[in-house]
C-alpha cells in the first residue's frame, strides 16, 4: 500500500528562522524513507517563481498583489502540490495561504473577506473527492495543509536577527509595526483553526527550536 500524502506548511515573520528547520526536517523525512517535495510560496513552479519576483520587488496595489499571489498558488497547487500528495509524498512548503492572511491581510490591511473568497476559489477541492458529510456542509472543502508549523518570534527580535543579513526585499524592509500586525495575523489564523497549527517558540536557541519541531512530528507518528 502506498503511503499517505502529507502537506506541511511553515510560517512566521521574516527572521523567525524557519529555513534551517525545514532543511533538517527534509533530512529526517528522507532518513525515514519518505519521498519529498520541497517547495515554497510565492513560487514552486516556473510561472509562480516569475510571479514571486514581481510580488517581492515591484510596488503594486494590494488587490493586484493578492491576485498575483493566489494566481501563483493556483499554479503551484495544480502542477506541484496536488500531484505530489496523490503520489503519497511529503510536501514541505515554505509558506502558504496563512502568509497571505498575515502579510496582505493583517500587515497591509487588505480586506480579508476578499482573501477568503480567493482562498475558496483557488483551494476548493473538487466535490468528487469529498465525502457526503463534507459536501453537505455549507463551507466548501478546501485544500489546506495537514499541519502548519508557526515559528513565533517577537518582531523586535526578528528585526535584530535580520539586520544586515542581506539586501531586504519589499516585505523585509517594512518597519517593526508591520511585523507586529503580521504576527497578530498568524495568531488569528491559528485561533480560527487551532488543530492545524503547531506553534513553536522561535526565541529559543536553534537546537531547542529544532527539538520542539521534531517532537511535533514524532508525536503525530510522522517521524
Ligand atoms: P520568505 O519565505 O521569507 O523567503 P526568503 O527566505 O527567500 O526570504 O520570503 C517570502 C516573502 O513573501 C516574505 O516576506 C513573506 C512574503 N509573502 C507574502 O507577503 N504573502 C504570501 O502569501 C506569501 C506566501 C509570502
Please compute Rg for the chain using Cα positions: 17
pLDDT band at 62 (very low <50, low <70, confident <90, very high): very high
Query: 57 pLDDT exceeds 90?
Result: yes
90-94, strands of its sheet edge to edge: 36-40, 90-94, 6-11, 147-152, 197-201
Whether residue 177 is contained in a domain is answered as: yes
100 lines ligand 1 (CB under 6 A): yes
Atom of ligand 1 nearest to the CA of 42: 24
Query: Residue 3 has what pLDDT?
Result: 87
CATH number of the CATH domain containing 22? 3.40.50.300
* Percent of the chain clearing pLDDT 70 (strictly above): 93
CA 74 to chain centre: 14
Q: What is the DSSP string of 8-40?
A: EEEE-STTS-HHHHHHHHHHHHHHTT--EEEEE
174 lines ligand 1 (CB under 6 A): no
Name the residue range of residue 15's domain: 6-219
52 lines ligand 1 (CB under 6 A): no
Whether residue 172 is contained in a domain is answered as: yes
Whether residue 1 is contained in a domain is answered as: no
What would the pLDDT profile of 134-190 be if each residue is shown by its tens digit?
555 556 799 999 999 999 999 999 999 988 777 899 999 999 999 999 999 999 999
Whether residue 54 is contained in a domain is answered as: yes
Whether residue 106 is contained in a domain is answered as: yes
* CB distance 2 to 88 below 8 Å: yes
pTM for the whole structure: 0.95
What is the number of domains present in the chain? 1
Atom of ligand 1 nearest to the CA of 172: 14
* CA 152 to ligand 1 centroid distance, Å: 15
- Which residue of 39, 44, 48, 95 sits with most ligand 1 atoms within 8 Å of its CB, as the best mutation to test the pocket? 95
- Which residue of 9, 12, 13, 14 sits with most ligand 1 atoms within 8 Å of its CB, as the best mutation to test the pocket? 14
Amino acid at each position: 500500500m502506498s503511503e499517505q500524502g502529507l502537506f506541511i506548511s511553515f510560517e512566521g515573520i521574516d527572521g523567525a528562522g524557519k529555513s534551517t528547520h525545514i532543511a533538517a526536517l527534509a533530512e529526517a523525512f528522507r532518513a525515514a524513507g519518505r519521498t519529498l517535495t520541497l517547495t515554497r510560496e510565492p513560487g514552486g513552479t516556473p510561472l509562480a517563481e516569475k510571479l514571486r519576483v514581481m510580488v517581492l520587488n515591484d510596488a503594486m496595489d494590494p488587490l493586484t498583489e493578492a491576485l498575483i499571489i493566489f494566481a501563483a498558488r493556483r499554479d503551484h497547487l495544480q502542477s506541484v502540490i496536488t500531484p505530489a500528495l496523490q503520489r503519497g509524498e511529503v510536501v514541505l512548503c515554505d509558506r502558504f495561504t496563512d502568509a497571505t492572511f498575515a502579510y496582505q491581510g493583517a500587515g497591509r490591511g487588505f480586506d480579508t473577506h476578499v482573501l477568503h473568497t480567493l482562498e475558496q476559489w483557488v483551494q476548493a477541492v473538487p466535490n468528487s473527492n469529498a465525502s457526503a458529510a463534507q459536501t453537505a456542509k455549507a463551507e466548501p472543502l478546501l485544500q489546506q495543509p495537514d499541519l502548519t508549523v508557526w515559528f513565533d518570534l517577537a518582531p523586535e527580535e526578528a528585526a535584530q536577527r535580520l539586520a544586515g543579513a542581506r539586501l531586504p526585499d519589499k516585505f523585509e524592509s517594512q518597519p517593526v509595526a508591520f511585523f507586529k500586525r503580521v504576527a497578530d495575523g498568524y495568531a488569528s489564523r491559528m485561533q480560527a483553526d487551532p488543530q492545524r497549527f503547531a506553534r513553536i517558540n522561535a526565541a529559543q536557541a536553534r537546537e531547542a527550536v529544532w527539538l520542539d519541531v521534531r517532537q511535533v512530528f514524532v508525536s503525530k507518528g510522522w517521524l
